[in-house]
Amino acid sequence: MGKVFGLLGHPVGHSMSPNIHNDAFNQIGIEATYHAFDVGLEFVKEAVHGIRALQIAGCNVTVPHKVAVMEYLDEIDEEARLIGAVNTIVNQDGKLIGYNTDGRGFVQSLIEELNEDLKDKRLLLIGAGGAARGVATALMLHGIRHLAITNRTLEKADPIVQLAKTLKTPAKAVDRAQAEKSLDEYDVIINTTSVGMSPNVEEVPLDLGNLKREAVVCDLIYNPLETKLLKLAKKEGATTINGVGMFVNQAALSFEHWNGVTPDRNRMRKIVLEQLGGTTC
């Protein structure tokens, strides 16, 4: 019997992960299968112990379990520790190691799209939740000039600002009005919130009236493929990036952690787009 991999989350019925990982196993010739496991909040501990007991080779972790799984792992990668969440578990001969590939997946998609480095970029992050912390951590580890965070409740941005001090990155929290007023200061704007996600497709997290034309606007949402925020940014002449690249890259990085080989990301992307009902992004 081949290796077994899985996804721990709740709910997981509409996950695209089994499709892209099983296709990658077939493509590369790895004898393995990937399954989505719907794990209730009260069974996280048992599920993680089950990885060991059933000799599952590795797992992805999605909402709402990315933080809860951490206390049951044997080791946590430094980046995952800084983020405070795990999305990838590797079973190394019974030793469970936690990683987080979300932020790195985003940074890769941003660099691919920009085709230039981020060292001199000033970035504005919309949102201060788990996704924002993952993206912010990876950006700061990569190296950026300055990070601003805006959030409906501004105090929630404090942990990211404190983390920035640890990682020696200039950062500040700004309220929405200030962020909108000074929008032309930023090279890259990133929405990490769910504002604009289907079915609330007419919502936008920020007014883009002061956006500079050469800015890049990113939205971690990929359903719809083009949010209202991205449509408005495109009208202003900005470059736009949706969440497909991040999703594909985080999956590919997880695959590399488990198997030591790189899957075909273009193929993964094609499967995701087909499943989302889109052909371009």
Task: Locate 171 and state its tokens.
Answer: 């950062």
Distance CA 22, CA 67 (A): 26
User: Which one is catalytic: 45, 66, 168, 234?
Assistant: 66
Distance CA 113, CA 31 (A): 33
Tell me the CA distances in angstroms from 201 to 25, 198, 274, one per residue in order.
Answer: 35, 5, 20
Tell me the CA distances in angstroms from 56 to 71, 135, 160, 235, one per residue in order.
Answer: 18, 28, 34, 48
Please indicate whether residue 66 is annotated as part of the active site.
yes
- Ranges of beta strands (E only) in the chain are 3-9, 32-38, 58-61, 75-76, 88-92, 95-99, 122-126, 146-150, 171-173, 188-191, 216-219, 239-241
Secondary structure letter of residue 74 according to DSSP:
S
Residue pair 123/147 in contact (Cβ under 8 Å)? The answer is yes
Distance CA 95, CA 104 (A): 24
Tell me the CA distances in angstroms from 231 to 177, 193, 216, one per residue in order.
Answer: 21, 17, 12
Catalytic positions:
66
